[in-house]
């Protein structure tokens, strides 16, 4: 499996990240089997957040993977902080305390990547910079990024940081592809021309920031999966035909559509089902043609001007 560079760093990662948001739904034996099976598939990038299960997913991970010094060097751990109950907090004190909690739950001395989770309207960039400097100097965090931020927010933060922001984690799937659609409807008056994100996709490409696609199998905001959903009959018909053509599961086609984009987007899987994870892995070796990519885009309900 090919690897990809994370942002402008010297860190090379798999084209898929294993999302651990639902890891606490597995019992210890199931979690151990799932995580080590992921490693056997070459998927060694694990995405966490301190809010997932109120920290229980990170605890489950450390217990299940049986981490050792040798294994720690072979895996890539990413986590996120900043979401609290009823508010967001990017203060220096909160970031430092959150990382200490994450490291304790994951039973590791350092994170490979720390993301700020959702924008904080009360963010003071200088406080974030102080926190990042301390975390980086102490060796607790190697690299940094954000989640769900648009270009102006990233630029505002980056001007105070010594470390480059390498990642922006954004929702993206076939039915939730507004960040692609608005770029195809330039100077149009139709609904798909609406730019809700400040052309974040092009911005990230220009700044060499890796877009990580969360909920790549979902539509709406956690409304459910679109595969097999009668709301997306036309899309599923095309997906099923291409899946039969390439002899892969339907979910492989849905992920291959994201991976085909030249921005080198890294989808974050959310499944705790090993068969589904294997299907995700197949997508990494599948390259859709340009006509196939556009056919899927239009079947998802988007129009070409």
Catalytic site positions: 52
Other C-beta atoms closer than 10 Å to the C-beta of 80 total 26
Cα–Cα distance for residue pair 231/251, rounded to 1 Å: 17
């Amino acid at each position: 499996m090919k690897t990809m560079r994370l942002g402008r760093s010297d860190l090379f990662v798999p084209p898929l990240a294993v999302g651990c948001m639902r890891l606490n739904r597995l019992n210890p034996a199931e979690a151990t089997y799932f995580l080590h099976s992921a490693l056997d598939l070459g998927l060694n990038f694990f995405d966490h957040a301190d809010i997932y299960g109120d920290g229980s997913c990170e605890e489950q991970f450390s217990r299940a993977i049986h981490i050792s010094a040798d294994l720690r060097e072979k895996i890539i751990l990413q986590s996120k902080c900043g979401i609290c109950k009823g508010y967001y907090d990017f203060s220096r004190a909160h970031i430092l305390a959150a990382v200490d909690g994450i490291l304790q739950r994951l039973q590791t001395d350092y994170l490979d990547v720390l993301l700020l989770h959702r924008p904080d309207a009360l963010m003071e960039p200088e406080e974030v910079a102080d926190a990042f400097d301390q975390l980086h100097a102490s060796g607790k965090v190697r690299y940094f990024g954000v989640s769900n931020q648009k270009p102006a927010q990233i630029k505002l933060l980056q001007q105070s940081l010594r470390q480059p922001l390498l990642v922006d984690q954004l929702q993206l799937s076939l039915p939730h592809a507004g960040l692609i659609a608005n770029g195809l409807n330039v100077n149009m008056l139709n609904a798909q021309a609406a730019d809700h994100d400040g052309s974040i996709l092009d911005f990230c490409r220009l700044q060499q920031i890796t877009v990580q696609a969360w909920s790549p199998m979902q539509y709406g905001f956690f409304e459910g999966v679109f595969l097999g959903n009668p709301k997306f009959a036309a899309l599923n018909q095309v997906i099923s035909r291409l899946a039969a053509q390439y002899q892969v599961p339907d979910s492989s086609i849905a992920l291959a559509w994201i991976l085909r984009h030249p921005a080198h987007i890294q989808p974050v899987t959310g499944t705790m089902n090993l068969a589904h994870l294997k299907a995700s892995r197949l997508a990494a070796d599948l390259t859709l043609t340009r006509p196939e990519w556009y056919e899927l885009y239009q079947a998802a309900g988007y129009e070409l001007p």
